[in-house]
Chain A
Amino acid sequence: MRPRSAPRGARGTELSPRRDPPRTQAPAAAAQPGAGRRGQRPWPARTMGAAHSASEEVRELEGKTGFSSEQIEQLHRRFKQLSGDQPTIRNLRKGPSGLADEIDFEDFLTIMSYFRPIDTTLGEEQVELSRKEKLRFLFHMYDSDSDGRITLEEYRNVVEELLSGNPHIEKESARSIADGAMMEAASVCVGQMEPDQVYEGITFEDFLKIWQGIDIETKMHVRFLNMETIALCH
């Protein structure tokens, strides 16, 4: 039942820095253009039939994302359901610029692959690598202008959105929290600041520092099933 271990060599290069990740609320609607995308090749839906195990593409995707073929098939079914049998999912919400207009199945799968549980049986290095990847993904969730820094403003936005679910919390407290968190980050990352030093924002290195010791392995993962569960929830 546990996702089987998959070759991960390819992932490291494939999933390296992503720009412009989905925002908190709309992971579905958002996608990442550019980096890992191989042209506009739509996922061939008909190859997903009975002969899927032989399909080259499935295997390729397996190698890239680390999903098992059952999981890929399962996700593809879901993808088709979401896209209404189109090769891509369109972004219906006209959000701020920077969000992709549409994503194809490969993008979809790539995003999902960030949420695969880390296979701890692999070597220390691999674990460290995938840990870093996960953190990078998370980092880009904060870093909305993709300048490699989580600035105070960006942090505030995230916190505000996080707290927006509770109408009782004013924006001010959200801001205050973000400010406090930023302070804390500064103190964790820079330590004693020099007189002329300013803390401009959390860089990825700082981000890693903050996450040190918190085992993201057990936090950032979703269980991808091999079975059909859609029927259960609809």
Chain B
Amino acid sequence: MDLKTFVPFSPCSRWLLLVALVGSEASSDLNESADSPAQHAPKAWFAASSSVPDERISVFELDYDYVQIPYEVTLWILLASLAKIGFHLCRRLPGLMPESCLLILVGALVGGIIFGTDHKSPPVMDSSIYFLYLLPPIVLESGYFMPTRPFLENIGSILWWAGLGALVNALGIGLSLYLVCRVGAFGLGDLSLLETLLFGSLLSAVDPAAVLAVFEEARVNEQLYMIIFGEALLNDGISVVLYNILIAFTKMHKFEDIEPVDILAGCARFIIVGCGGVFFGVIFGFISAFITRFTQNISAIEPLIVFMFSYLSYLAAETLYLSGILAITACAVTMKKYVEENVSQTSYTTIKYFMKMLSSVSETLIFIFMGVSTIGKNHEWNWAFICFTLVFCQIWRAISVFALFYVSNQFRTFPFSIKDQCIIFYSGVRGAGSFSLAFLLPLSLFPRKKLFVTATLVVIYFTAFIQGITIGPLVRYLDVRKTNKKESINEELHIRLMDHLKAGIEDVCGHWSHYQVRDKFKKFDHRYLRKILIRKNQPKSSIVSLYKKLEMKQAIEMVETGILSSTAFSISNQAQRIQGIKRLSPEDVESMRDILTRNMYQVRQRTPSYNKYNLKPQTSEKQAKEILIRRQNTLRESMRKGHSLPWAKPAGTKNIRYLSVPYSNLQLPERDTRAPESSDDHGSGSEFPPITFSAPSRTGMLQERRRTQETIPMRNLPRGGTALHFGHHEGNGSHEELAGRGRRAAVRPRPLFHAVDEEYESGEEVEGAASAAGARWTAEQGHNRGHHESQSPLLQRK
């Protein structure tokens, strides 16, 4: 019996093993082919063994049906992920075609396999699954990663274009197709106006994620980027609302005629559904922001709160027949700002990645369903209908772009140029949304659903492949206005100043426009919202966090490049004696290392960069590195120069500002007082080599020791205070980090460690150490305040 049990299953187990081993595209192939025998085999076995009493426990059993759906879905996602890996391994490919094309191809492959093996694919996609589980993550993701500021700056045009554009497209395509259907020769006479309108509305949902990726790469100007982004964000919501209303009309039409009153009611409903959705979203956004205020002790559930509340906003809106999509978008946008400040760095990272992951899973699944339903027998091909659909899609997009932007340009200070409009026209790529809506049409109401699905698929394939692939070259060819926004402190400062300036000027002129509104909102935000929604001890303004970010990045770079680590342990004993000795406890080292490895890379991101499929590596990393290296060089150079500078300068001569390492001769007494203090603090004793601030320069090894001594004074300068402080901080760091930073502290006046500390204090839960640092910092300040005027490190008197 045992033998008997085993024999029929050996092929299956072998297959399973193979599936697990091969794991790539071949895997699903095997799996599919494995399926059919796998399903039949048990039956055959049961039939064969029915004569034998069957009560014994079988040693090996297989129940594929039980796991079929999750099993296949997992394989699909895995397959798509592997395909993505392959896609990005191949260097030329990503530049050539958008990622959605790849997904579609993978979907078609899976569909082909399923069709070829005659395997019955699990009926996974239906209306409730799509709307309840697949759609929300996609929308949430694009809402959450929306760059708020440029979005709000262009909000008028975005609303105008996304809202009216979708309407014009839907109505235009619907009406003109209806007219075509009236021509008897095409055999489309049975399509009613409502049906074509519905078809138009589902085709009006564009999915320009691929276009955004191209824009990102080509660095097109911000307003063009934001228009497309806004369209991607709002378009889904609007066309789904339209779709639902039209479905409701169709249902009603089955039983009674539609009267003008109903149409009016439909329009009113359209507005209420939209606005109500947004309202719900904002409320839920505030609630979740408020709740994250109290999660500092259980930060593990912070991501959960974010996700659950967004989802709740979606569900709550849907319960009331409001637009869940707009609700979840508004919720994400509202809460993002506050949540980001409240949650810990780890949670923030989790939220980001989890969101990306969920949405990419959803999208992959939709594309695979699309592939599965592409290849199959459920198509109805009608040349006229399909060709006209394609043509009308393009024509109406062109009409709506040029007409709507003609109008909105009258109100814009910086109009969209003709080139911009061409790009917008060309970016009308249809995607997963259109397909899902078409796929979900109820067959009972739409007898010619197959035709719709086929036409939608053709439009999607056409736009995704032809337009998606050619838009990159087109953008480059048309040479649209570019921006090269970089992330720098200076820019951030200037823009801040400009905000104030513009608000002030508008005030003077007595105008009332969006700078004023923004200013007012900021005041309101500071005075009330932030007080309520944000944790008390996190007084951060975005400029500070930006700065911290750059700082952190540099710190990592320093460690990463490894230039400095080699010198870490060679710090001379002499230097050790001179300086306050810093030791660190192993636990501190551990926690610090943890923080570094896990958090530092994902410092809060404020760039408007957006990629549907991936979280970009920090865009400004290169630049930061550059700055870092330059700075390092600069300061090393100026260190050397320091020897030639007179130590004591006559006061009263003309002010000359140096941006170089501070030198001072006033440090001695203070150093004496401080040295014991710092050793007290860290006197825990450890095996680690003591770290000092000395700067073992790589350039002049001979001078090293001498220079080390000379740079000590830094510590006692106002800025130098930071250096000491920083050293304390380092106390928790890994050796490499220590070395890197320690050296850096000496190499250049780094005034900003204070800021960095703040970050640790608040976000990284190094409370004990950090607060000690803070205390010391203030003490230091007290010490140094006296010298501040004349001894500012960067501002020296000659």
Contacts and interface: CB of A to CB of B under 8 A. Distances in A.
Contacts of B658: 198-200
Interface string A46-90: 000000000000000000000000000001001001100000000
B772 interface: no
Interface stretch (A7-15, A32-40, A93-101, A188-196): A188-196
Contacts of A187: 626-627, 630-631, 634
A198 B516 CA distance: 41
A152 B659 contact: yes
A5 interface: no
A82 B508 contact: yes
A169 B758 CA distance: 11
A217 B412 CA distance: 13
B682 interface: no
Interface stretch (B298-306, B420-428, B494-502): B494-502
Given A24-B497, A163-B541, A176-B752, A220 B511 contact: no
Given A182-B794, A187-B631, A177 B752 contact: yes
Nearest to B753: A176
B385 interface: no
Q: Select the residue from A117, A176, A210 with max chain B CB neighbours within 10 A.
A: A176
B657 A193 contact: no
Q: Select the residue from A172, A180, A233 with max chain B CB neighbours within 10 A.
A: A180
B147 to A, nearest CB: 15
B657 A201 contact: yes
B151 interface: no
A25 B781 contact: no
B601 interface: no
B512 A78 contact: no
Chain B contact residues: helix, strand, loop or mixed: helix
A195 B637 contact: yes
Interface in A95-152: 111-112, 115, 117, 120, 138, 141-142, 151-152
A224 B511 contact: yes
A152 B411 contact: no
> Which of the four size classes fits the interface of chain B?
35 or more
A138 B494 contact: yes
B222 interface: yes
A32 to B, nearest CB: 14
Contact of B497 (A120, A158, A175, A183): A158
A92 interface: no
Given A112-B505, A222-B511, A166 B489 contact: no
Contact of A181 (B415, B490, B511): B490
A195 B516 CA distance: 48
A147 to B, nearest CB: 10
A195 B485 CA distance: 31
B660 A198 contact: yes
Given A2-B410, A152-B659, A192 B633 contact: yes
Contact of B504 (A27, A192, A210): A27
A218 B414 contact: yes
B659 A199 contact: yes
Contact of B637 (A117, A183, A192): A192
A208 interface: no
A162 to B, nearest CB: 5
Interface of B: 221-223, 410-415, 483-486, 488-491, 493-498, 500-502, 504-513, 515-516, 526, 539-541, 543-544, 547, 550-551, 626-627, 630-631, 633-634, 637-638, 640-641, 644, 655-660, 719, 722, 749, 751-752, 754-755, 758, 781, 792, 794-795
Given A152-B659, A213-B486, A229-B511, 14 more contacts: A24-B497, A152-B792, A158-B493, A169-B544, A180-B489, A180-B752, A187-B626, A190-B634, A192-B633, A192-B634, A193-B634, A201-B657, A214-B483, A218-B223
Interface of A: 1-2, 24-28, 75, 78, 81-82, 111-112, 115, 117, 120, 138, 141-142, 151-153, 158-159, 162-163, 165-169, 172-173, 175-177, 179-188, 190-201, 210-211, 213-215, 217-225, 229-230, 232-233
30 contacts: A24-B500, A28-B508, A112-B505, A120-B414, A138-B494, A141-B497, A142-B497, A152-B794, A162-B497, A163-B543, A168-B540, A172-B754, A173-B758, A176-B722, A176-B752, A177-B752, A180-B551, A180-B751, A181-B489, A184-B490, A186-B634, A192-B630, A193-B660, A195-B641, A210-B488, A213-B484, A213-B485, A214-B483, A230-B510, A233-B510
